[in-house]
Amino acid sequence: MPPEAPALDAILSEARAAIQHAATAQQLTEVRAGFLGRRGTLAAKLRNIGQLPPETRGAAGQAANEAKETIERLVEKRRRELEQAKLRHNLEERRMDVTLPGAAAARGHLHPVSRIEAEMCAFFNGLGYSVEDGPEVESDWNNFGALNFPDDHPARDLQDTFFVEGGERVLRTHTSPVQIRAMTRLEPPFRFIVPGRVYRHDHDPTHYPMFHQLEGFCVGADVSFGDLKGTLYAFARHLFGQQAKLRFRAHYFPFTEPSAEMDVRRGSGAWLEWGGCGMIHPTVLRNCEIDPSLWQGFAFGMALDRAAMIRFGIPNIQLLFEGDQRVLEQF
Amino acid sequence: MRVPLGWLASFIALPASQDELEAKLTSAGLEIQQVIQTGPDISALQVGRVLHCERHPNADRLFLCRVDLGGDEPLEIVCGASNVAAGQFVAVATHGALLPGGLRIKRSKIRGVVSNGMICSERELGLGDEHDGILVLDGAPTPGAKLSQVLNVMETVFDIEITPNRGDLVSMHGIAREVRALFGGALRLPECQPEETEREATSAMAVSIQAPQDCHRYLGRVLCGVQVAPSPDWLQRRLEAAGLRSINNAVDATNLVMLEFGQPLHAFDLDKLRSPLCVRRAEPGETLRTLDGEARALEPEDLLIADAAGPQALAGVMGGAASEVSDNSVNLLLESAHFAPACVRRSARRLGLSSDASYRFERGVDPDGQARALDRAARLITELAGGEVLRGHIASEGAPAKTPPLEIPLDAARLRRLLGVELSEQEIIRLLACVEVQARSAPAESGTRILCQPPRYRSDLLDFEDLAEEVARIYGYDAIPATLPSATPAGVSRPQRHATRDAVKASLVASGLIEVMTAPWISERELDDLRLPADDPARRSLKLQNPVHSGRPLLRTQLVSALLRVAEQNLNRQVEQVRLFECGRVFHACAAEPDALPEEPLQAVALLAGAGSPGLWRENHAPLFFRIKGIAERLLEELGQPLPFRAGSAPPFLHPAASGVFELGGQSAIAVGELHPECLAAFALDTPVALAVIGLDRLDAVRQPQQTYQVVSRHPSVQRDLALLFDRELPAAELLAAIRQQAGAILASVEVFDRYEGLGVPEGRVSLAFRLLFQHTERTLTDAEVTKALQRILQFLSKNFDAEQRLAGESAASQGGGG
């Protein structure tokens, strides 16, 4: 029908302009509804087709459908354009100075000695060592007597002791009194470690009157000096790396025999004194009601502070205990 | 102990390599702490022989010498000393050589003649003040040899740490024995026997021991007609190399012998003594002026050498000033005794008087070594100071000294099991022989035993383990193979409080705090500064007898004061935001039994101080109090059990209006608050400080190590905000509790998201905004249900808390997928 054709063309060109003019997705939706919606222009045309003579109805219907498809295509094209534009805009608008620092919450820090202690405990837990604990103010007997320190013997000078007023009480000079407490309670075989704080009257760049030890004890029917060496080798490699070397030197402790001091060396560095060790003295076993003819075992001890200083390259032990936030924030 | 190697070498041949000597001694337990070079460095100088000597052609007072230095051609050297002559052996510094004083010798032209070096005087060699003439060497040393090989003035000294069990090592003789054990060789001991007169020593002096348990043997020798004078150079140098000061020839001789054999000796001026001598305990009220000039009040535990007039020496510790050997002394009494170690140690410790003698007696001297050392010293003194030695010893014996057992059985199988190394019986016997332990096999019921007899000077060898250590030591610890214990026990345990402590530390670190460790010394004043009342547990302090700082003699009873000190130091160092915590034990004397071991509760204290500058991205602008409270709340949440909070009733060092406690069983588990203004002033803090004081032992009970899953709703939640006006004194906690109670089970959470007073809010009122989240675990809530709950809350709040609605926001959020 000749009069109908221009009408569709007009609608199409009107739609084309309106679609192109739509600046947002919302506007585009409105434009589409204006033409294709139930009350839209094209819908009105389609409704009219039913009233056309049957012979023209087919062609008119087809033309209207084509027009509808064209509009849909144009809308879709425009929608993509708008999305692209929006994305481009977004990418552009969010441009920022990404070199500014990140905004993290303040970071907390465990003390280097706590870190080393946790690491050491984890290692020995893995080897089957339990953790034992005891008081820091100790009886003279637990700190010295039971550990085979004779009265009036220069061995007592090895550890400059803090004495507490009233009663035979000292600040423990080593964690070994816990050995007495635990071994008296436990039935062999057993193995345990004792991390803890100890006190000696000593003050210079490598000594502080308070420091931390970790001692370990392993008692069984045939636990030998060789086992002691093997255990400490494994530990040193764990703590200081596979290249770590150990050296054992004969030494004297009242509570072990044979006794040794151990030195550790990382790579080609100097030997650093690291701790003491030995086979538990039979008198100590007897003092804990363990029969030394049936049971034997080893003991070792080292300063955690020293390990922390070696590990982190801290030159002066005082830095660990002054509480300077600028120091402790580094670890 | 300082061991000059040249001196040691006179007792035993040393290995060629000093490094090897050092390594083996160290490994055997004689740790070389330091290697010291003593004496002038004459290593660049040579021995020369003056072949020809004539007047310098252009100078009257100079000589031109041709000196043989072992080379092809003699050197021409100009010398100004009047005593130079042909045929002399002299010390020569050639071109380029460095003199001990730091002068480098250069070839130079002296009055037209080239001089190729210098012939040295004593002063130029650093050996003395003699500079008028050149030093002429004794004997006929080889020209060209190193001067240091001819003049024994340079010495390498090992400073060796001797462990307290090894009294036998505190001498050249002892170290030489150890060198022999490690390297083999034969000992060379100095000549000891002196020439004696006809006259008996006993005619001049008598001695008796009245305390036989404290003095095992007392020997003396009498020397007459000696001339006390300064010691010759070699003796002075030797003592100085060993770290002793030279006094005079007589005293130096006794000290030298002490260093040689480890037996302390004492020389008395015989003419100041009145026979007989007596070795006895002090009587109450007796005093003695010791060699150092101090008047010592003696006690009955002190052992004395007394004569008829009274105390003359503190046995084994120090002699008395009255009978001291002086330059005028002519007749001497030499003492060589064996005192009980514990007895010497008690006196030395009580008087704070440690001497070379007491050091050796405390560690135990050779029970058989008195006569030899005494003879050696008598001989040496007559060599140095003339005089004569009266015949024989004056002597008295006490109870026998403690010596090792005659026979210690050693089970070879047990030794192998202890050390973890396969050693044959022969090998064990051979190793023991190195340290002079006589060992032999003897058949036993099971296997064989080795019967061992230690030498009498090794009072530390008493049982199987002692011998095992000797075997291991000589075998070498490094040679023992490293193994691991065979069986592993099932399961490991740790104290509950460690687990709680670690959880608390982890939570505080996660809250951004930094752990510190402080020394546990505090003062009474700090407790006052914390405003603690007399009956506070933190007042039950323990005092040290020998504190590090006399101003802080108490063991800490709380962690707060130390942390405040640390905070103040950090603020002084311009740290802007101090955020610290410490976790450790405090010490409270037992109320019932003050002398028993104290209680050691575990405490943690967290501290925030200083506002910090407004950083670019700083987020947390909440007041200090709420930040510390938030840290405590998070901690409790992480431990698995929130505790009720109560305002006030906090410790006296907290601000009464800005503090409160989280309670457990009616007691404070965590106290939080800002620091009391008086405490701020007392600790010199000029910025607000907030604290959380955490009783770790109480939290042990709270901790829920097992956490169980709580159902998460799959249905959408509805969020409603309420903004209401209340009386400003009304605690928000009460309102939150009321809201929770009125809302019932469908309220998933409620929080205060704003608090406002000021413009638009009437005087005395405050606007609080709550955000409520409603959610049902099994179905989607209807709008009506939520609105009904909200209305119930509003009604309740306005009725009971005089709430007025200010604004009401509304938003619905749909969360979760399934629906």
Task: Give A138's contacts in chain B (Cβ within 8 Å).
Answer: 597
Query: What distance lies between CA B382 and its chain's CA centroid?
Result: 44
Q: What is the pLDDT of residue B618?
A: 56
Mean residue pLDDT across chain A:
89
| Mean pLDDT, rounded, for B122-133 | 78
Q: Tell me the C-alpha distance between B122 and B133, whole Å.
A: 8
Whether B187 has a pLDDT exceeding 80, the answer reads yes
- The terminus-to-terminus CA distance of chain B in angstroms comes to 86
Strand partners, B654: B675
Flag whether residue B398 sits within 8 Å of chain A, measured between CB atoms: no
CA closest to B612 among chain A residues = A106
Are residues B516 and A328, on separate chains, in Cβ contact within 8 Å? yes
- CB–CB contact A191 B363 (8 Å): no
On chain B, the residues whose CB falls within 8 A of the CB of A105 are 512, 619-620
Q: Do B420 and A224 touch (CB under 8 A)?
A: yes
Shortest Cα–Cα distance, A26 to chain B (Å): 23
Q: Which residues of B touch A248 (CB under 8 A)?
A: 27, 477-478
B596 interface with A at CB cutoff 8 Å = yes
Closest CB to B514 among A100, A137, A325: A325
Task: Say what angle helices A54-93 and A4-21 make with each other, to 10 degrees.
Answer: 10
Q: Which of A129, A175, A224 to mutate to test the interface with B (most CBs of B within 10 A)?
A: A224
B690's enclosing H/E stretch is strand B689-695
The interface residues of chain B toward chain A in range 449-468, judged by CB-CB distance below 8 A, are 463-466, 468
Quick one: which of B637, B693, B704 has its CA closest to B661?
B693
Amino acid symbol at B616: L
- Comparing B580 with A8, the larger pLDDT belongs to B580
* Subunit contact A163:B546, Cβ cutoff 8 A: yes
Highest mean pLDDT among B205-219, B435-449, B798-812: B205-219
Is B346 in the A-facing interface, judged by CB distances under 8 Å?
Answer: yes
The residue in chain B having the minimum alpha-carbon distance to the alpha carbon of residue A126 is B492
Spatial contact of A176 and A314, defined as CB atoms under 8 Å apart:
no
Place of tokens 């026998």: B400
Q: Which residues contact B657 (CB under 8 A, 6 or more apart)?
A: none
Q: CA B400, CA B215: separation in Å to the nearest integer?
A: 9
3-state secondary structure of B485: coil
Please confirm whether the linkage preceding A189 is cis (ω < 30° from 0): yes
Specify the pLDDT at position B615. Answer: 54
Distance, in Å, from the CA atom of A216 to the CA atom of A218, rounded to the nearest integer, reads 7
pLDDT, tens digit, for every residue of B523-535? Answer: 999 999 999 999 9
Q: Which residues of A touch B422 (CB under 8 A)?
A: none
Substitution target from B522, B573, B597, B696 for chain A, most A beta carbons within 10 A: B597
User: pTM to 2 decimals?
Assistant: 0.81
> Residue A234 and residue B484: Cβ atoms within 8 Å?
yes
ipTM of the complex, rounded to two decimals: 0.84
Beta bridge partners of B288: B296
- With residue B306 as reference, give the H or E element that holds it: strand B303-307
Give the chain B residue whose CA is nearest to the CA of A210: B519
Which pLDDT band holds residue A244 (cuts at 50, 70, 90)? Answer: confident
Confidence of residue B810 (pLDDT cuts 50, 70, 90): very low
Distance from CA of A73 to the nearest CA of B (A): 34
Instruction: Give the Cα-Cα-Cα angle B546, B551, B553 (nearest 5 degrees).
Output: 40
Digit-coded pLDDT (tens) for A138-181: 999 999 999 998 777 766 766 689 999 987 899 999 999 999 99
Contact present, A193 and A132 (Cβ < 8 Å): yes
- The CA distance from B77 to B449, in Å, is 73
B524 touches chain A (CB under 8 A): no
For residue A262, the cross-strand partners are A248, A275
Mean pLDDT lowest among A263-267, A326-330, B165-169, B446-450: B446-450
pLDDT digits 0-9 by tens, B496-532: 889 999 999 999 999 999 999 999 999 999 999 999 9
Q: What is the pLDDT of residue B447?
A: 63
B662-672 confidence digits (pLDDT tens): 998 888 999 99
How distant, in Å, are the alpha carbons of A297, B220, B389 from that of B198?
Answer: 63, 17, 9
**pLDDT tens digit sequence for B4-42:** 999 999 999 999 899 999 999 999 999 999 999 887 888
Residues B305-314 have pLDDT tens digits of: 999 999 999 9
Record: contact A222-B498, CB cut-off 8 A = no
In Å, how far are A3, B791, B813 from B783, measured between CA atoms? Answer: 56, 12, 12
**B36 DSSP β-pair partners:** B157
> B577, A118: Cβ pair inside 8 Å?
no
Helix (H) or strand (E) holding B107: none
Rounded Cα distance between B261 and B282, Å, is: 29
CA trace torsion B671, B677, B682, B684 (10° rounding): 100
Least CB–CB distance from A103: residue in B27, B600, B617: B617
Mutate to test the interface with B, among A99, A162, A210, A225 (most CBs of B within 10 A): A225
Candidate from B418, B519, B573 with C-beta closest to A224 = B418
CA distance A151 to A172: 17
* Contact residues, chain A, for B346 at CB < 8 Å: 152
Residues B354 and B264: beta-carbon distance below 8 Å: no
What confidence tens digit (pLDDT) does each residue in A118-144 have? 999 999 999 999 999 999 999 999 999
Q: What does the pLDDT look like over B60-71, one tens digit per residue?
A: 889 999 999 988
Of B345, B511, B597, the CB nearest to A137: B597
Cβ-defined contact of B544 to A164 (cutoff 8 Å): yes
What's the whole-number mean pLDDT along residues B472-489? 89
Alpha-carbon distance of B770 to B739, in angstroms, equals 9
Q: What is the per-residue burial (b if ≥16 Cβ within 10 Å, else e) of B715-753? A: bbbbbbebbbbbeeeeeeeebeebbeebbeebbbebeee
Amino acid at B620: N
Comparing CB atoms, the residue among B342, B487, B493 nearest residue A220 is: B487
- B561 touching A (Cβ < 8 Å): no
Interface residue of B483, B509, B513, B569 to substitute, partner A, most A CBs within 10 Å: B483
Angle at B519 between CA B514 and CA B525, to 5 degrees: 110
Tell me whether residues A252 and B31 touch, CB distance under 8 A.
Answer: no
Closest C-alpha to B563, from B690, B378, B727: B690
Distance, in Å, from the CA atom of B663 to the CA atom of B632, rounded to the nearest integer, reads 12
Q: Which fold has domain A112-328?
A: BirA Bifunctional Protein; domain 2 (3.30.930)
pLDDT recorded at residue B60: 86
Cross-chain residue pair B566–A323, CB shorter than 8 Å: yes
Q: B28 CB near a chain A CB, below 8 Å?
A: yes
Distance from CA of B709 to the nearest CA of A (A): 28
Mutate to test the interface with A, among B35, B515, B618 (most CBs of A within 10 A): B515
Nearest-CA distance A217 → chain B (Å): 12
How far apart are the CA of A87 and the nearest CA of chain B, in angstroms?
Answer: 27
Q: Work out the number of other CB atoms within 10 angstroms of the CB of residue B257.
A: 28
Residue B288 is predicted with a pLDDT of 95
Q: Is B71 helix (H, G, I), strand (E, B) or coil?
A: coil
**Residue B812: pLDDT above 80?**
no
Asked if B493 reaches chain A (Cβ–Cβ under 8 Å), the answer is yes
CB atoms within 10 A of CB B275: 15
CA dihedral (B499, B501, B505, B506) in degrees, to 10, reads 10
Contact (CB<8Å) A165/B542? yes
